[in-house]
Chains A and B, each alone.
Chain A
Amino acid sequence: MQCETVKVVHQDEVQGGYRLLWLDAPGIAPHVRPGQFVHVLVPHMEEALLRRPFSVYKADGPVLQILYKGVGKGTRTMTYLRPGDQLSLIGPLGNGYPGLSTGRYPILVAGGYGMAALYLLARALPVQGVAFFGGQSASDILCVDEFEALGWEVRISTEDGTRGERGIITGVIDAWWTARDADAEPVEAYACGPNGMLHAVARRAMERDWRAWVSVDRNMGCGVGACLTCVLKVRSEEGGWAWKRSCKEGPVFECREICWEMEEAG
Chain B
Amino acid sequence: MKTPVMVASGTFGYGPEYAELVDLNKLGAIVVKGIALHPTKGNETPRTVEVASGLINAIGLPNPGVDGFVEQYMPFLRQYDVPVIVNIWGKTVEEYVEVARRFDHVDGVHALEVNVSCPNIKEGSALFGTDLDMFRRVVDGVRGATQLTVIPKLAPNVSDIKVFARAAEDAGADGISLINSVPAMAVDVKTRKPRLANVTGGLTGPGIHSVAVRLVWEAAGVVNIPVVGIGGITKAEDALEFLMVGASAVAVGTASFTHPATALEVTDGIAEYLDRHGLSSVGELVGTVLL
Contact = CB atoms under 8 A, between A and B. Distances in A.
A, B assembled together: yes
B259 A224 contact: no
Interface string B56-95: 0101001000000000000000000000000000000000
B4 interface: no
B258 A224 contact: no
A228 B42 contact: yes
Given A50-B257, A243-B62, A219 B11 contact: no
Given A3-B261, A221-B257, A227-B11, A48 B17 contact: no
B21 interface: yes
Nearest to B63: A228
Of B18, B54, B206, most A-chain CB atoms within 10 Å: B18
Contacts, number: 83
B21 A224 contact: yes
A243 B41 contact: yes
Contact of A49 (B21, B41, B59, B254): B254
A227 B21 contact: no
B113 to A, nearest CB: 17
B45 A231 contact: yes
Contacts of B41: 242-243
A222 B256 contact: yes
A227 B44 CA distance: 14
Interface residues of A, number: 28
A229 interface: yes
B271 interface: no
B62 A226 contact: no
Nearest to B52: A47
B257 A222 contact: yes
A228 to B, nearest CB: 5
Contacts of A2: 20-21
A3 B21 contact: yes
Given A90-B21, A224-B18, A227-B11, A49 B45 contact: no
B144 interface: no
A128 to B, nearest CB: 35
Given A231-B45, A243-B41, A226 B17 contact: yes
Nearest to A226: B13
Contacts of B62: 228, 243
A248 B13 CA distance: 12
A252 interface: no
A245 to B, nearest CB: 9
Interface string A229-242: 10110000000001
A69 interface: no
B157 interface: no
A49 B48 CA distance: 13
A50 B50 contact: yes
B124 interface: no
B12 interface: yes
A225 B13 contact: yes
A85 B197 CA distance: 38
Nearest to B254: A49
Interface in B12-54: 12-13, 17-18, 20-21, 41-42, 44-48, 50, 52-54
B55 interface: yes
Contact of B48 (A3, A41, A47, A229): A229
A227 B257 contact: yes
Contacts of A90: 21, 260
Contacts of A50: 50, 55, 257-258
Contacts of A223: 257
B50 A49 contact: yes
A196 interface: no
Contacts of B45: 218, 229, 231-232, 266
Contacts of A242: 41
Q: Which of B11, B13, B205, B254 has the most CB of A within 10 A?
A: B13
12 contacts: A41-B259, A49-B254, A50-B257, A88-B259, A90-B260, A224-B17, A226-B13, A226-B17, A227-B13, A227-B48, A229-B57, A231-B47
Given A226-B18, A227-B48, 19 more contacts: A3-B21, A3-B260, A3-B261, A41-B259, A49-B55, A50-B55, A50-B258, A51-B257, A221-B55, A224-B18, A224-B21, A226-B13, A226-B17, A229-B45, A229-B46, A229-B48, A232-B45, A266-B44, A266-B45
Q: 10 tightest CB-CB pairs across the interface, nearest first?
A: A226-B13, A226-B17, A222-B257, A225-B17, A229-B48, A1-B20, A224-B17, A48-B50, A228-B59, A3-B21
Interface of B: 10-13, 17-18, 20-21, 41-42, 44-48, 50, 52-55, 57, 59, 62, 197, 205-206, 254, 256-261
Interface of A: 1-3, 41, 47-51, 88, 90, 218-219, 221-229, 231-232, 242-243, 248, 266
